[in-house]
Amino acid sequence: MITEPKLILADEPTGALDPITSREVLELFKKLHKERDVAFLLVTHNREVASFCERSLELREGRFIAQHGTDVDIGDLSESRELIIDDSGTVTLPPDVLLSLGGPGRFEMSDIKRDILHLDRVSDEKIEVSQSRQFVLSSTCPACKFDYGESEDQQCPECGSSRPMVPA
């Protein structure tokens, strides 16, 4: 910080840190951004770290598949959307495509031809998809079920576990 940078590039800045220290680093980044107008370019696999950003781009096999944040225009990604199916057969859908399908669920493939899949929802039961990128401290300890109440503790007073962040 001695050179007063205007841009900091950070590759997995919290990757080797425990959750509490990770949040402290992100708070430091937030303070630098607000008080010294420092911009950050972060690379992360962590959803909590990604939620810290004003804008995030999601990559899969070197291609942009989605972006999140304020004033996001899906058209900025490309004129057509690509889905990538990995070697195990796993398909990752961008959040906006998943919402267009009506959310996650079970689908039956009634018609399969090369490069064409016809999907029919098996059940009316849908899993809600959260558009929220905000994370908050968990209200209960996942290890011992301690209820934190209004506390902002980062560590469980009962069992000592780190308090996780969960989508708001």
Residue 78 has pLDDT above 50, yes or no: no
pLDDT band at 118 (very low <50, low <70, confident <90, very high): confident
CA distance 34 to 28: 10
- Give me the percent of the chain exceeding a pLDDT of 90: 27
Residue 24 has pLDDT above 80, yes or no: yes
Complete DSSP assignment for 88-138: T--B---HHHHHHTTSS--EEEEEEETTEEEEEES-S--PPPP----EEE-
Q: State which H helix or E strand residue 25 sits in.
A: helix 19-36
Whether the predicted model's global pTM rises above the 0.85 cut: no
Residue 73 has pLDDT above 90, yes or no: no
Amino acid at 71: D
